[in-house]
Amino acid sequence: MKIAFVGGFGVAETMRVDVAPGPGETVTGGVLAVGPGGKASNQAVQALRLGEEALLISAVGRDSAAQIGRDLWVAEGVDDRGVISLDESTMVGFIIVDSQGENRISLAPGALDSATPYSCASALDLIGECDVVVVSFELNPAVGFEALRRSRDAGKLTVCNTAPAIEIPEDVLSCIDYLVPNESEARAIAEIMGWGVDSIESIAETFRAHGVRNVIITLGGEGVFFCSEKEASRLGSLTPSQVVDTTGAGDSFIGALAVSIGSGREIHDAIRFAMAAASLAVEQQEVIPSLPRLSRVEARLAEVMV
């Protein structure tokens, strides 16, 4: 199975502090780490570590930051033929992680904002080689929208990770098999779309009323809310042994979910598999080192089944 990940790559500059600063406040004593990031790139690496092939569709600059990505993709085995180079800079993300492992992220998107469906046309043609297509919106959303439309026309299984939260056209909503926002993103999209609903349950049902087939809303430590034509239910979270850094948890969840639903797992089992991966990802510092391999995910699942 091959999975296409359409979205962002960037360099993450992560500052670890005891307490994150408030407005107008300066704190010191932090420790800085610089490494590869970006949702689609992280998700592709997670899928590969779980045993599947991964194609990345993204945009970078012609700079040293882009080379960090190229080196990562070679090392991990990511197919980067869908990564285009533009004159703008590669995305940079500034991340503050506090002593509780909670993070705050700000992005300078650079080349990701400048990419268009036209400049990415040859990259999008590669979707035809894939079985599952995962779209997030760090890359210019117009590219993601086109990827979802093409994927639906080609009969591909589609997953949309709505990060960051944006307005999504009605015709694009109907192209999505699995919509996966976190709770804050779900609420933000409902407000942007003017739906006038605020409970998780009503937001999920409204997404479905607008054409989305399945909605999975991640709730952090509270687990997941899942809504389909057949059911609406909550699944409790899997408790990590410790919480060191939550930055990569969402990308680990999405990468593992794409692998599990693409391989035909029953949806509850697929979500549990993704939660197991995410629970492992929070136990280690920095995103790429934290993304677990298949043996560790299977071991975590075995632990919770005892």
Q: Which residues are the active-site residues?
A: 251
CB distance 245 to 290 below 8 Å: yes
Closest by CA to 5, choosing from 117, 111, 116, 158, is 158
Q: Are strands 157-161 and 132-136 parallel, antiparallel or unpaired?
A: parallel
| φ and ψ at residue 298, rounded to 5 degrees | -65, -35
d(CA 214, CA 232): 10
Query: 40 burial class (0-12, 13-18, 19+ CB within 10 angstroms)?
Result: buried
Residues facing residue 54 across a β-bridge: 3
Tokens for 204, please give them. 């999920």
Long-range contacts of 100-104 (CB under 8 A, 24+ apart): 100/243, 101/243, 101/244, 101/245, 101/246, 101/282, 102/20, 102/246, 103/245, 103/246, 103/247, 104/20
Q: Tell me the residue ranges of DSSP E strands in the chain.
A: 2-6, 10-16, 31-37, 53-60, 79-85, 91-97, 103-108, 132-136, 157-161, 178-179, 214-218, 224-227, 232-235
Closest by CA to 226, choosing from 204, 206, 249, 247, is 204
CB distance 44 to 78 below 8 Å: yes
Closest by CA to 130, choosing from 143, 118, 148, 114, is 148
